[in-house]
Amino acid sequence: MAKFAVTPSNAAQREAWVGGTIPEVERVRPGLWSVPVPIPVNPLRYVLVYVLELPGGVAIVDAGWNTDEAYDALVAGLGVAGYAITDVKGVLVTHIHPDHYGLAGRVREASGAWIALHPADARLLRERYDDEVVDTLVRRERALLRRCGVPELTLDELAGASMMIRHVVSMARPDRLVEDGDDLGLPGWDLRAVWTPGHSPGHLCFVSPSRRVLFSGDHVLARITPIVAVHPQSGPNPLADYLDSLAAVRKLEVDEVLPAHEYRFLELAERVDAVMAHHDARLAEIERVVGAAGGGVACWEVATRLTWSRPWETIPPFMRRSANNETLAHLVWLAAKGRVVRQAGEPELWHAP
Ligand SMILES: [Zn+2]
Ligand SMILES: [Zn+2]
């Protein structure tokens, strides 16, 4: 990881993150609040929901995970800002991951708010969370993992690893589809959507040019980099999408980045450069591993030979799957640039050119 460290724009929020606690509900600036909403059993601990004051109510950016604890925290946070859940007019969802989208349906039920989502994520909803079709998704994931050379014994465990979180997501259909460049039409806000595919195909950031803030969702975070992986619902080259999306937000002129996790910070362009450098280093490492293999090597095998934040043997199944699928995203990117060669088969093998 590149060594650049951002300047947190609220020291207390950063200290809460570093200290393992949940930060306070805060007024970020006039008419704008940050409400931490807890995520169960997850090292990210909370999602930062932003509350945007409107005449006669509020809109929120992201909603939180669909649990009673999260719902209560959201209601309490709105209360600190002087609002009730029934005051929510709109829910702007950055992407369909359960920590952002999960609670949107319950908020709509309580308030009649509309839910806005990018069409590329809205398309994935049925397959992702509907019981009738979810088996298809597990089958496709299994086929993908087999192609990556995942050992037969671990296949089932890995393919179904994300299914346990499915039940906490309520099946809300969006009321509004938001495209790149759309003005959200919130009274008092010049809020524009920036489509930033990569972490998810329909990921959205929202920028306010007059207030000079960027709601960055999971796209750009202070310390961590979001997972960018090939999976049955990703685009064919999600890392290319992600790096293009980073370049797109780098150009925005903002003073403060308001991410969905960790803490908010000041330097957008520098942070984007650091994330790009991180992926450059990862790409170079993967290219070296493929070269050193001296013949065709499967994606899973490449993943086991990379440096991770802890030894491979101690990484739990769900994270190994992410690690494999992230490695695949980098291999696909390298192949598109001619830096590695892909050989079809089962498993599919990767060679030096
Ligand atoms: Zn996410
Ligand atoms: Zn997230």
Strand segments (E) across 4-153: 26-29, 32-38, 46-54, 57-61, 88-92, 114-117
Residue 302's pLDDT is: 98
pLDDT at residue 175 is higher than 60: yes
Q: Which of 100-114, 169-183, 203-217, 334-348 is the least confident region? A: 169-183
Which ligand has an atom closest to residue 100 CA? 2
Could you tell me which residue, 173 or 338, shows the higher pLDDT? Answer: 338
Strand order in the sheet with 192-195: 192-195, 204-208, 213-217, 256-259
85: number of CA atoms within 13 Å, CB side? 18
Phi then psi for residue 229, to 5 deg, are: -140, 150
Element (H, E) at 216: strand 213-217
d(CA 107, CA 277): 39
d(CA 38, CA 45): 6
Closest to 322 in 3D by CA, of 124, 159, 197, 169: 159
Cα of 95 to ligand 1 centre, how many Å? 7
Residue 41's pLDDT is: 79
Q: Residue 54 has which token pair? A: 């409107």
Residue 2's pLDDT is: 42
Which ligand has an atom closest to residue 200 CA? 1
Element (H, E) at 204: strand 204-208
Q: What angle do CA 155, 320, 306 make, to 5 degrees?
A: 125
Residue 199's pLDDT is: 97
Which ligand has an atom closest to residue 196 CA? 1
Q: How confident is the model at residue 100 (pLDDT cuts 50, 70, 90)?
A: very high
Q: What average pLDDT score do residues 87-103 get?
A: 95
Residue 128's pLDDT is: 59
Q: Residue 250 has which token pair? A: 């780098």
Cα of 226 to ligand 1 centre, how many Å? 7
DSSP 144-156: HHHHTT--HHHHH
d(CA 65, CA 77): 15
Residue 333's pLDDT is: 98
Cα of 296 to ligand 1 centre, how many Å? 33
d(CA 190, CA 125): 28
Q: How confident is the model at residue 48 (pLDDT cuts 50, 70, 90)?
A: very high
User: Which residue is associated with the tokens 């007024």?
Assistant: 27
The set of residues, in sequence order, having a beta carbon less than 8 Å from that of 279 and lying 6+ positions away, is: 225, 239, 242, 243, 330
Strand segments (E) across the chain: 26-29, 32-38, 46-54, 57-61, 88-92, 114-117, 176-177, 192-195, 204-208, 213-217, 256-259, 341-343, 349-351
pLDDT at residue 138 is higher than 90: no
Cα of 312 to ligand 2 centre, how many Å? 24
Q: What average pLDDT score do residues 234-248 get?
A: 96
User: Which residue is associated with the tokens 């950031």?
Assistant: 205
Q: Which residues are bridge partners to 88 per DSSP?
A: 58
Cα of 97 to ligand 2 centre, how many Å? 7
Q: Is the dihedral of CA 315, 321, 324, 325 positive or negative?
A: negative
Q: How confident is the model at residue 303 (pLDDT cuts 50, 70, 90)?
A: very high
Cα of 218 to ligand 1 centre, how many Å? 5
DSSP single-letter state for residue 253: -
Q: What average pLDDT score do residues 184-212 get?
A: 97
Q: Is the dihedral of CA 67, 71, 74, 76 positive or negative?
A: negative
Cα of 309 to ligand 1 centre, how many Å? 19
d(CA 263, CA 108): 27
Residue 1's pLDDT is: 41
